[in-house]
Amino acid sequence: MFENIIGQEEAVRALRAELFEARFPRSALFFGPMYSGKLSTALEAARVLTCDEGTGDWSCECPSCRMQKELTHPQTVLLGARYADVEIAASADALIRSRKPATLYLLLRAIRKLTRRFDPSVADSDDPRVKGMQDRVALLEELAAGLTPGAELPPARQLSELAERIITAAAPVAAQVRADMISIGQIRRLAAWAHLTAAGSRKVAIIENADRMLDSARNSLLKLLEEPPSSVHFILLTTRRAAIIPTILSRLRPYSLPARTAEQEKEVMTRIFRRDAEGLPGLRAFFLAWREINPEKLSQLARRFVELARGAEPGVDIVGEMAELLPERSPKRGRSSRETISSFLEELMTHFGELLREGSAPPESLERWSAAARDAHARVESLNMQPSAVMEALYYRVRGETG
């Protein structure tokens, strides 16, 4: 078990022991930075928990393990925000270049990490945005049906055309999921699903970006965690452990998944995505490239933003200065400036961390800047606010802290 997880030896060692000895908790928290493998680890834990044979061996061919590998198991659900479009594009590219069972599973799993969030068991059916996506989700599943494990893959040209259709169909669905704030409607549906009897099988609910949750949803989740059904495991994932409210945090057993080493990230790129890692500093740069964003340019813009906020003339036109960061659309995939700004804000928070390590600014100021950047990120991603207005407000907020 966990042979598919690269790095995270300490967490994997603890999980193996607890799962083998039936000590895995009813409620767990996997926390760590982006690209540390939290969702992959949670999905592997779900496979082991639901294995019909009870061994959890990666080579197990029991019906449950086969469904878990394809992410079609009805007793495992997914909800919460996720960047799915770039993973689908990178996985499709891997399959085209390496027509192997492993890359076929990679693409199928990437698609279903997106579509499974629209399962009736967790999707808020009263949300008009969910209703509006059902046809697109059905199309994605229809396209995925053309990639059956064990069957012969289409010829190269047809496979490339199918991959392009999948990427195009996934884009609007991924845009909605990326902006998700978990609602009380979702948690209520999750609670109803959790309390249904699952004969002979455990259930696993995986909540990604669990810190991005409306207050009413937090309260509803807290009630569910206080008395979890005996057959259900809840696994919450977050990049910000401190953003999980204490009452929920106290009911979760924490597992730290720290940032992977540079070598481990290269191994992910070469072994999982079948890409030459030369010239790419890490997984973040790899996925930024799939958004057609230059990571070096992004870093330069983050430094420029801080320079302007700390020392520019009053009244500087920050939106004008950052104009190159605000393209209306990417020429290839129709990516919006919202995605670019989100990537920039993530880079800005990384830069604040570098300044803290260098001692280049007071720690208390950097903490407030980071909080402001996180708030701006939420406004762009989840509240659908105009990116240029959010950028300008963030600039003056950071500038006010430095004045």
DSSP letter string, 200-224: T--EEEEETTTTSB-HHHHHHHHHH
- Does a structural domain hold residue 1? no
Average pLDDT over residues 225-238: 91
Q: Which is more confident, 178 or 142?
A: 142
Is 201 within a domain? yes
- Domain hosting 67: range is 9-272
Buried b (16+ CB within 10 A) or exposed e, 296-328: eebbebbeebbebbeeeeeeeebeebbeebbee
Examine the domain organization and report whether 356 and 229 are in the same domain: no
Residue 47 burial by Cβ neighbours in a 10 Å radius (0-12, 13-18, 19+): buried
In a domain, 283, yes or no: no
- Do 257 and 320 reside in the same domain of the chain? no
* DSSP annotation of 102: H
Could you tell me the sign of the dihedral formed by the alpha carbons of 84, 90, 91, 92, in that order?
Answer: positive
Cβ atoms of 287 and 342 closer than 8 Å: no
pTM: 0.86
Number of domains in the chain: 2
Percent of the chain with pLDDT over 90: 45
Residue 2 in domain: no
Q: For residue 232, what are the β-bridge partners?
A: 203
Separation of alpha carbons 160 and 140, rounded Å: 15
Residues 42 and 132 in one domain: yes
User: Quick one: pLDDT at residue 203?
Assistant: 93
Q: What is the DSSP letter of 58?
A: T
Using DSSP, state whether 99 is helix, strand or coil: coil
Torsion angle of C-alpha atoms 84, 85, 88, 91, degrees rounded to 10: -100
8 Å CB contact between 73 and 50: yes
Rounded CA separation 107/74 (Å) = 19
In a domain, 280, yes or no: no
239 with 344, same domain: the answer is no
User: pLDDT digit string (tens) for 11-36?
Assistant: 999 999 999 998 999 999 999 988 99
Whether 220 is covered by a domain: the verdict is yes
Q: Confirm whether 342 is domain-assigned.
A: yes
- Domain match, 159 and 15 both: yes
Structure tokens of 319? 């939106």
pLDDT confidence of residue 330: 44
| Contact between residue 361 and residue 345 where contact means Cβ atoms under 8 Å apart | no
Pick from 93, 112, 59: nearest CA to 272: 93
User: What's the pLDDT at 285?
Assistant: 85
Question: What CATH number has the domain bearing residue 260?
Answer: 3.40.50.300
In a domain, 286, yes or no: no
Q: Tell me the pLDDT band of 323, cut-offs 50, 70 and 90.
A: low
Q: Are residues 249 and 301 in the same domain?
A: no
Using CA atoms, how far apart are residues 159 and 180, in angstroms rounded to an integer?
31
Instruction: Give the pLDDT score at 402.
Output: 53
Last residue of a domain, one of 272, 307, 331: 272
Residue 348 in tokens: 């800005």
End-to-end CA distance of the chain: 54
Nearest to 255 by CA among 44, 14, 22: 14
Least confident of 72-76, 273-277, 360-364: 360-364
CA dihedral 2, 115, 169, 100 (to 10 degrees): 30
Exposed / middle / buried, residue 119 (Cβ in 10 Å: 0-12, 13-18, 19+) = middle
Between 51 and 312, the more confident residue is 51
Return the structure tokens found at 314.
Answer: 């009053």
